[in-house]
Amino acid sequence: MEARNIVVAPAACVPVEARATELCEHKGVGHPDTITDAVCEAASRALSQAYLAACGRVLHHNLDKGLLVAGRSAPRFGGGELLAPVRITIAGRATRVDGRVEPARIAADAARRELAGTLRCPPGTFEIATEIREGAANLQEVFARGGEVPLANDTSFGTGFAPFSTLERTVLEAGRLLASPELRDAFPCAGDDFKVMGLRVEREMRLTVALAFVDRHVGGVREYIALKAAICDYLSARLGGGVLIRLNTLDDPAARDERGIYLTVCGLSAEMGDDGQVGRGNRASGLITPGRPMSLEATAGKNPVSHVGKLYNVAAMRIAAAVHREVPGAASVGVELLSTIGAPIDRPQVASIEIAPAGTLTDAMRAQARAIADEHLARIGELTEAILAGRERLF
């Protein structure tokens, strides 16, 4: 093992592209789990900026516990009504700086801005609550004790991989299309809440899509069915003819009114049908990938300075991409980083890099992969600024 405990080895598993079956999932911007991730991450970023302004550095906090409780609605063709708002609770620990930094207020304000900036919902759709208290003394002390290199405030691991498979790229592209202004302009009925489940069997790819329809843009069952078909055609034309797309498969084929179809008032399942929780959505890849090693750590809401549950998942994706890009013959790369609480974040217990080579895994390839990982770990502190600036994908 090297100075940073970097181990490079041949891949232990068959690459996903070489398997007979593969599946992965993407939860869109309006999915209840994604909403909860987004507001908790927005709260952490705003709190970090407040600490920087008041104290010159980010203080200890973790706002990575969040719960969305669905509201109640009465969808109707042509426009229904929201009967009870969606309630989101942000919970966690944060350092309070009297008179200068009030975590509860900052978190709630940031959550409201995030919701207003990303979702097309009428005022009053959401209620925000906070349950934020002081952190444990020993965790605050570990956070404060870190010098130029912060000390890990958890024993945890992060994972990454490269490249994305054809199915993974297709699912991500479907998600991009569903969230795009172009689709929303073409189909005002398309809500912000969607989920894409991808399946590949041998070379055949199938996407099962759930998309909330907005009731005021749908005149009846026949129009709903026609719009479904048109959206499927829109996606198929842009994803390629070899992808089978199924949309809102729970719909009752014999539906005569609003009750048998996926119709909403606000374009969100959260208004009536589904709750949400931090950490149940997309990983740092933007996907949920059961065929890849994954960490169950939620990246959202954790402090961006020392919480390896956030930093190591982002760093692992970066390292995997760099090794795949820069090491000739590295056909597929997986990375796992494991921390030790209280140890410098640039010194993991192990940085495991598994490479599936196009031919043979040579000593030169191992050395180059080690050097790439060593450089990324030496600069891991740079991730804090990138995360606070919103330049890193977290979910």
User: Domain residue spans in the chain?
Assistant: 22-26+166-277
Give domain 22-26+166-277's CATH number out of 3.30.300.340, 3.40.366.10, 3.40.50.300, 3.40.50.12280: 3.30.300.340
Distance, in Å, from the CA atom of 286 to the CA atom of 169, rounded to the nearest integer, reads 10
**pLDDT tens digit string along 109-158?**
999 999 999 999 998 999 999 999 987 777 777 777 767 899 999 999 99
Residue 2 has pLDDT above 70, yes or no: no
Give the end-to-end CA distance of the chain in Å, rounded to a whole number: 32
Residue 203 has pLDDT above 80, yes or no: yes
Residue 366 has pLDDT above 70, yes or no: yes
| Total Cβ atoms within 10 A of residue 162 | 20
Helices marked H in 187-269:
221-239
Q: What is the mean pLDDT of the chain?
A: 96
The pLDDT score that the predictor gives to residue 1 is 42
| Total Cβ atoms within 10 A of residue 148 | 7
Cα of 61 vs its chain's centroid, Å = 20
Looking at the chain, the whole-number percentage of residues with pLDDT higher than 90 is 93
Nearest partner of 204 among 249, 240, 250, judged by Cα: 240
SS3 for 67?
Answer: strand
Longest dimension (CA), the chain: 68
Query: How many CA atoms, within 13 angstroms, populate the side-chain half-sphere of residue 324?
Result: 19
| Total Cβ atoms within 10 A of residue 2 | 13
Q: Is the peptide bond before 163 cis (omega within 30 degrees of 0)?
A: yes
**pLDDT tens digit string along 276-296?**
999 999 999 999 999 999 999
**Section 225-244 average pLDDT:** 95
The structure tokens 């958890």 sit at 154
At residue 295's C-alpha, the angle toward residues 142 and 357, to 5°, is 115
pTM above 0.85, yes or no: yes
